[in-house]
Amino acid sequence: MDERGVVVKTEGLSMLLNGSVILEDINLGIYPGEMVCIIGPNGAGKTTLLRILLGLVRPTSGTVTVFGVSPRDLGEKRDLIGYMPQKPLYQRNFPLSVLDVVAMGAVTKSTMGRPLSRLQRNMALQGLEKVGLQELAGYPFNELSGGQQQRVFLARALSKAPCLLFLDEPNAGLDLPTQGRFFKLLKELQEKDGLTVVMVSHDLAVVAAYANRLLCINRSMHVHGSPADVLNSPLLGEAYRCEYEVLFGRGRG
């Protein structure tokens, strides 16, 4: 593995949970400006891997570094990371504006519990501008469409102008046209701002059109490389097993 400029790296990464192997011997390297998508069937350990990279879960064995240090030791470098979880937490009945939701991403430990500062407000507005929703800043969040809400959550992840962005199933619950628009926007932001994007998704048909590399896992790493190489590899069918026929036979593949 070429060490020059590596942003995220794992070596021999394994995870056990209640005696079951969730991940086994995962070795990967992610480089600046890449969009890398982690794919695999349901229960493959994709979200667990993402949580380990974020420092939210400690692996059973192996090493993981982000910007050259353990995710738990990032300190101020953590502000260089944006995160869009699969199911963002918010009170659905609470009267939040679009700007309120995005501004949550600009909150730090030192500003938690304080009124929104001018700087945080500007950061939130800049995040909304990046996703083309600045005109909806004062609009009730709950009245947005599903696609608009996903763009707001993306704006929240971008509110501190990160250089590394983690996303967990950002297209979940969106129809195909909306997914396409979301990923087109994400790709434009990646190329314009030089973002390094690490994303978990189960939808090969969509992400293969936008990712630079695919990493296919099902407990262990089965195949990785360019979308064309991965989608044409016989190892992909081994990773998905019975799901493979659905994805590439009678499905959308």
CATH code, 240: 3.40.50.300
Which residues of the chain carry a pLDDT beneath 70?
1-4, 87-94, 107-116, 241-253
Task: Identify whether 132 is part of a domain.
Answer: no
- Predicted TM-score (pTM) of the model is 0.86
Task: Identify whether 122 is part of a domain.
Answer: no
Residue range(s) defining the domain that contains residue 70: 8-87+163-248
φ, ψ of residue 107 in degrees (nearest 5) = -75, 135
Is residue 99 exposed (0-12), middle (13-18) or buried (19+ Cβ within 10 Å)? buried
Strand partners, 66: 8, 69
Residues making up the chain, counted from first to last: 253
* Confidence at residue 57, expressed as pLDDT on a 0 to 100 scale: 92
Q: Are strands 8-17 and 20-30 parallel, antiparallel or unpaired?
A: antiparallel
d(CA 146, CA 115): 28
Task: Identify whether 172 is part of a domain.
Answer: yes
Task: Identify whether 2 is part of a domain.
Answer: no
Task: Identify whether 119 is part of a domain.
Answer: no
Structural tokens at position 221: 């790493």
Structural tokens at position 80: 């260089």
User: Count of domains in the chain?
Assistant: 1
Task: Tell me 69's DSSP state.
Answer: B
Contacts of 25 (CB under 8 A, 6+ apart): 12, 13, 14, 62, 220, 221
* Confidence at residue 91, expressed as pLDDT on a 0 to 100 scale: 54
Task: Identify whether 99 is part of a domain.
Answer: no
Task: Identify whether 183 is part of a domain.
Answer: yes
Task: Identify whether 235 is part of a domain.
Answer: yes
* Confidence at residue 245, expressed as pLDDT on a 0 to 100 scale: 44
Over pLDDT 90: what percentage of the chain? 51
* Confidence at residue 252, expressed as pLDDT on a 0 to 100 scale: 40
Is residue 158 exposed (0-12), middle (13-18) or buried (19+ Cβ within 10 Å)? buried
d(CA 234, CA 154): 34
